[in-house]
Amino acid sequence: MNFTLCSSSSELKYPCVEGLRHSKVNMLVPRPSVRVGYSAKKDSIQVSDNDTGKRVVGNHLMPGKLEGPYMGEKQLQKPSQKLEFVRTLLIDNYDSYTYNIYQELSVVNGLPPVVVRNDELTWKDVCHYLYEENAFDNIVISPGPGSPTCPADIGICLRLLLQCWDIPILGVCLGHQALGYVHGAQVVRAPEPVHGRLSEIQHNGCRLFHDIPSGRDSGFKVVRYHSLVIDAKSLPKELIPIAWTSSGDALSFFETQKSNIMSDAYKSQIGHKSSSESISEIKNGNCSPFVQFDESRRVLMGIMHSSRPHYGLQFHPESVATYHGRQIFKNFRKITEDYWLRLRPYAACMQVPCASQLLREVPRSRHLVSTAADQLYRDPPQSSQLVHDADKRSYFEVSNMVHLSHPSTGVKFLKLKWKKFDHLASQVGGARNIFCELFGRHKAEDTFWLDSSSIEKKRARFSFMGGKGGSLWKQLTYRLSDQSDMSFKGGGYLSIEDSHGSPRSIFLEEGFLDYLNKELLSFCYEEKDYEGLPFDFHGGYIGYIGYNLKVECGVVSNRHKSRSPDACFFFADNLLVVDHQNDDVYILSLHEECKTMTPWLDDTEEKLFSLKASATRLEEQTFQAATLSPYKAGFHADKSRVQYMEDVEKCLEYIKDGESYELCLTTQIRRSIGEIDPLGLYLHLRQKNPAPYAAWLNFSKEDLCICSSSPERFLRLDRNGTLEAKPIKGTIARGATAEEDEQHKLQLQYSEKDQAENLMIVDLLRNDLGRVCEPGSVHVPHLMDVESYATVHTMVSTIRGKKQSNLSAVDCVKAAFPGGSMTGAPKLRSMELLDSLESCSRGIYSGSIGFFSYNKTFDLNIVIRTVVVHEGEASIGAGGAIVALSNPEDEYEEMILKTNAPAKAVMEFL
């Protein structure tokens, strides 16, 4: 449920500009301040304390109807002025699309909005900032899970809509429903849930839709994420319907491309060419407000208040696939400007972005909901800052971030030495032979290999490998505490083993990611040390983050405890890199500035040149193809077919109730394997199912080996500060013949369900990147591309943005972990629901494997298509996104399909 940021209430004042509000406008609002230079007549507004739903507001408060003593004829004749920027208070209803609105408003308003969750401020605080400090010009109420009829879902929003009648307000999705509900309309189940699909929109030509076409085949198509709607028949006279669907049929994304060209705002976010770009652009025309069509099939998509500057939109203007979404935000800005400038035409010259660094200290008193079965936890109480940077004019919410300017650990000055060997990789047998010969002996204990074993179409270029090395090497093993009460943020126990094998254990009250952040911030280095290296990992932490670390990223608790450690990392001070594109080999070694270099570089160079290109013993092994299903081959599932399908049905009910748009339900299969050669298993898996983000990790002290053939990147931060996510949603098996394979590929490409899944996660990842990226920088260069792998076709999108300079690498991970493709949307509510449905911890599955380089870059995958070998057992996780279009039996079959490749690799190797 994405929404638009717009607000229309005159309680949003410009700091240091008095006279824009009335001294006694609403007796329900505590002591609104008096604007200097503006005298309001007491009889200009009629307020009935006994009937707040039917208040009559003087028409001088309505945009476009400034008549009477407050605006003289000479003033009205003056040319309209434009505010330098518009200041928005964005209320977040715990949604996963709020920061898409944030990004859009940042561009349109000229100033990023301030984001506050719906239970973070008291009503007294709200009135203070709106009426006494005059900090905002409008309010936008975000989408969110649940219903406006549930106080825990809607928080302070109903009171804002009821009592802030003199401030422009725009409600999106849940915010739209709240506008209807607070004035007496009924919120009911929609004729069908619609999530990640598009509808053509007809509107009445009001100012919110200025310069936007209307009706069927007009080019105005919008993305919908909702299961509930306002019953149009229940609208009170105060609310005016302004938009409807123009037919009863929702469309898939690619269906909309057959007749439309994207809007300019849309094309600014989509960087790749599509079929629609070859079609002549449909120009905006005059609206036809009252086109007749079958009313029984239409769904109410927009409302406005008859006497207040309040608007609601059921659809999501901020979605990447909504046409003319940015124009809607521009129109709301213009409504806000006109509203204030007609009250005070010279206000623009006095406008400043923030009065006395307002909101520098914002008390956040979050209210916890009950722990009943149908209620979900909110974040624990905390205080945070909303910082205004006058130079950059940017607000940033840091309440959930761990950025530290003064690391508590000692500063380490690191020096890097490296050597390059041109065109050596193929001469010595390639990456596989190099790893086996240099690091594969002694069961490859305490080794790592980030293995780009699928390099077709330039999906990946570099592989990184190494083992226990020099004096800086160490292993971190982290386990969350057993405590899971709502006031506990998730600390745990960290075991540290250094290069000499000496262990120590500490308790991390603030959690592992906070510790990792401090470690990375403690490294000092000279950029000239790695000039000339074409990759970003030059040494640092390499390992995995387990799914349960979601408790350090906003989730209150874990229902299930992981059998394996919740995070394991090596600090790699020596490593070897293979450039698959140029066939080059690099060796790198890190040491502290005050320490003497080790001979590792010279020793490794000697070993490399002694290698032969002949196959190793493991390469000569052959395996009989497995024909049995995973279950018949000895794997047992945590949930039976019937149980899994029942869980899918429960997910569908949650979706119908508006609790989620998409739930990524998972389960695991397991088999006892006893003593095996785990490296041999991994080599066989990479041969059968090569992948661009594959990985091998061996933590021998934990009896833990990870064999991953993941095709999915979670998140990468490069040295230029660019963040990139590549979520996968939509999977289908390869065909037996070339013709069948092409048919399967097209079937995936044009699957309405898979397009809806992918679009929802793209918008979610845009939101997650939007929390930490520069305003206006988040874009989608590739949307719903189909990529082919050894056993499956997948639908992949790419989202990029420019990281804000004041944030760390770990801040970025915390904003987006776990990957949205493994959770669903809205993310927090979906994860809580999934915790109640799934019978065990996901453990390493659904987490991330990769590196955090000492130079503040990182690259992490999504742990899927992975065999985890732990204490004599092999486990494989799999699942799929449940959406309104899902079929339980099909979902079960998709889950089984995703286990096939790794399960077959295990069966063939045993």
Q: Are 111 and 87 in contact (CB under 8 A)?
A: yes
Looking at the predicted structure, is the pLDDT value of residue 408 above 50?
A: no
Q: Are 348 and 341 in contact (CB under 8 A)?
A: yes
Reported as a pLDDT band with limits 50, 70 and 90, residue 628 is: low
Residues 6+ apart with CB under 8 A from 233: none
pTM of the predicted structure, to 2 decimals: 0.82
Helix 430-439 to helix 600-610 angle (10° resolution) is 120
Active-site residue numbers? 173, 316, 318
Between CA 771 and CA 666 the distance in angstroms is: 27
Between CA 700 and CA 677 the distance in angstroms is: 13
Burial 820-849 (b: 16+ CB within 10 A, else e): bbbbbbbbbbbbbbbbebbebbbbbbbbbb
Q: Which domains does the chain have, with CATH numbers?
A: 88-253+296-341 (3.40.50.880), 412-611+635-721+803-909 (3.60.120.10)
DSSP string, 116-140: EETTTS-HHHHHIIIIIS---SEEE
Residue 839, helix vs strand vs coil: coil
Each residue of 288-329: pLDDT tens digit? 333 333 455 689 999 999 999 999 999 999 999 999 999 999
Looking at the predicted structure, is the pLDDT value of residue 850 above 60?
A: yes
Q: Are 725 and 780 in contact (CB under 8 A)?
A: no
Between CA 201 and CA 293 the distance in angstroms is: 12
Distances (CA, A) of 138 to 19, 45, 329, 354: 16, 21, 12, 14
What is the residue whose two structure tokens read 């019937």?
642
The torsion region of residue 345 among left (phi > 0), alpha (psi -120 to 50) and beta comes to alpha
Each residue of 473-531: pLDDT tens digit? 999 999 999 754 444 555 899 999 998 888 999 999 999 999 999 999 999 999 999 99
- For residue 369, the model assigns a pLDDT of 28
User: Of 376-380, 449-453, 761-765, where does mean pLDDT reach its minimum?
Assistant: 376-380
Token duo for residue 624:
């009989």
Reported as a pLDDT band with limits 50, 70 and 90, residue 833 is: very high
Between CA 218 and CA 213 the distance in angstroms is: 6
Reported as a pLDDT band with limits 50, 70 and 90, residue 441 is: confident
Reported as a pLDDT band with limits 50, 70 and 90, residue 393 is: very low
Which among 145, 138, 147 is positioned nearest to 177, based on CA atoms? 147
Distances (CA, A) of 2 to 322, 439, 685: 11, 49, 40
Between CA 398 and CA 197 the distance in angstroms is: 33
- For residue 24, the model assigns a pLDDT of 28
Count CB atoms within 10 A of the CB of residue 682.
29
User: Of 78-82, 116-120, 776-780, where does mean pLDDT reach its minimum?
Assistant: 78-82
The mean pLDDT of 827-838, rounded to a whole number, is: 96
Looking at the predicted structure, is the pLDDT value of residue 53 above 50?
A: no
